[in-house]
Amino acid sequence: MPAPTNARWATSQRCAPFLSVYGEAEAEGHTSWNQVEESFLAAMSEFDASIAASVGADMTDDEKSDLGADLQNGKGDFFNDLLVLLLKQCSGVQLLTSRRPVPGLIVPKHNLDCVYPAEGDLQFMLEAKMMGTPKHINSPRQKERGRPGSADIDKRVKELAFKCIDLKGEFSRRQAMSGTAPRSGGPGGGDLTTWLRTVEPKIYFFIAVRVISDSDFERTLKWASTAQQVLDAVGLYCFEPEGDSFTDYSRRDGVPPDLQLERVLYKACVDLQALRQ
């Protein structure tokens, strides 16, 4: 599974550290987050250092736009594609990473980034987000330590929660139309979480968050736990600046075991192996 040649992180010079991490993971056949964690942190430090160096620099509008695109698409897409590579090498299942339109119960079509299988009813879906950035030229009013990782996490969780309910609602409707008895009576009994866990597709949410304070970390945990009530599983990885540096990162400990990205990624691998069989 070579690096996507059209992905921004594979073509942008600023994103070169990401390409190195991906290439190593592919060449070595890595199958777990623990195997890439150290190189991921080093690449993120190098990338964010280049972002932070833009403060006070003389940049054209095009250069500012490129920086914004690297933050908006390069970093997030790299995280998504790295997880997909690890899952593919762990499970032996080829996930579809090109955007595939899938019907929902209310929304006619959802464009999804990572799904399985490529055709037919959706059985597995992965969403991945990276949150939190250092201060840069496009955010001059931001505090010195940068934007809190939890700043938009409530919006992302609410968006994905609706998508999850809509996709699973459509799957349940299709079951009823085909004469297949639903495995439960639906959410009418009041236990929405239990109903969602009985209906396909399996939906996994992975988040990598740059946290800058204890309160930022606690808010991140709160919303990740909220997402667990709607999605099949949520994997969280937090990292934070070390010492006086704003871009030298280390892992932030304290994430509960049921939310730890490395554990949830393995669970996703097992689920994919079961679907393949």
In this predicted model, what pLDDT tens digit does every residue of 182-228 receive, in sequence order?
555 455 545 677 878 778 889 999 999 999 999 999 999 999 999 99
- Residue 194: exposure state from Cβ atoms within 10 A (0-12, 13-18, ≥19): exposed
Does some domain include residue 1?
Answer: no
Does some domain include residue 3?
Answer: no
Does some domain include residue 238?
Answer: yes
β-pairing, 249-251 vs 233-241, is: antiparallel
What is the C-alpha to C-alpha distance for residues 270 and 248, in angstroms, rounded to an integer?
34
Does some domain include residue 137?
Answer: yes
Does some domain include residue 25?
Answer: yes
- Give the pLDDT of residue 46: 95
pTM of the model: 0.89
Does some domain include residue 55?
Answer: yes
- Residue 253: exposure state from Cβ atoms within 10 A (0-12, 13-18, ≥19): exposed
- Give the pLDDT of residue 252: 97
Q: Is 273 left (phi over 0), alpha (psi -120 to 50) or beta?
A: alpha
Tokens of 266: 């393995």
Number of domains comprising the chain: 1
Does some domain include residue 107?
Answer: yes
Maximum Cα–Cα distance for the chain, whole Å? Answer: 65
Residue found under tokens 């933050």: 71
> 205 and 161 in contact (C-beta within 8 Å)?
no
The ranges of the chain with pLDDT < 50 are: 185, 189
Does some domain include residue 128?
Answer: yes
Where in the sequence is the domain holding 189, given as residue range(s)?
Answer: 8-276
- Give the pLDDT of residue 80: 92
β-pairing, 202-210 vs 124-131, is: parallel
